[in-house]
Amino acid sequence: MPPQLLVSVRNGIEAEAALQGGCDILDIKEPARGSLGMADMAAISAVAEVVGQQPDDVALSAALGETTDWYAAAPPALPAGINYAKLGTAGLRPDLDWQQRWSEVRRQFDLAADRDIAWIAVAYIDWELANSPPPLEIVAAATEAGCAGVLFDTFAKTGRGLFDWLSETQLRGLVNDIHAAGQLVAVAGQITAENVPALIDFAPDIIAIRSAACAGGQRTNAIEAEAIRHFKTAMHNAAISH
């Protein structure tokens, strides 16, 4: 089965453009606030409303910032339309009890929403820069916690992407481990249309983009439907030739 395309949007207007471009999953985040920057609740609700008006099923996910952002703050109640949620792991590496803290923050979000949220664990592939636990540790924790899947992403948005941090052998091993546990695999990190043929070979379930969906390939610019259509065409062609 070919991977689904996730596009990260910051508001309802961008959500409409991403849907016009043909994305399969809408992800809500504020890129100005970092890799997993959480958008304001008004923006999250606006995107959920846009998706709720669609005739076709479009999954919805939300970035909720870093785990450490919520140590002294009460999580808000996420809208019912959110299918998946992601919580970053930056800054957790020095904490010997990081798994417990990570679990507690997720539990607080579940309680606020009054339901069990499907969580996607975030493994930063530039984990040393993020001061995050290494990917293998995140993968093991995600399996133990019963997460719905694992996202591989870059913490620092400096132009270095997925394959600048992970070798093909490392990525293949991680993907195989996650699939063996019955979980989804999502890949992100400055992914371009040129990367798609190589990515298809690893059989990720989700390819996640922001920069490649934006005007001029800049993640803080507006989403463009045409850029998404270009990326979807690359995915289609790669799937046919694989």
Catalytic residue list: 29, 86
DSSP string, the chain: -PPEEEEEESSHHHHHHHHHHT-SEEEE--GGG-TTPPPPHHHHHHHHHHHHT-SS--EEEEEEEEGGGGTTSPPPPPPTT--EEEEE-TT-TT-TTHHHHHHHHHHHHHHHHTS--EEEEEEETTHHHHT---HHHHHHHHHHHT-SEEEEE-SS-SS--HHHHS-HHHHHHHHHHHHHTT-EEEE-SS--GGGHHHHHTT--SEEEESGGGBGGG-TTSPB-HHHHHHHHHHHHHHHHH-
From the list 13, 49, 53, 50, the residue with the least C-alpha distance to 224 is 13
- The CA distances from residue 230 to 59, 174, 234, 235, in Å, are 21, 28, 6, 9
φ/ψ of residue 186, rounded to 5:
-120, 140
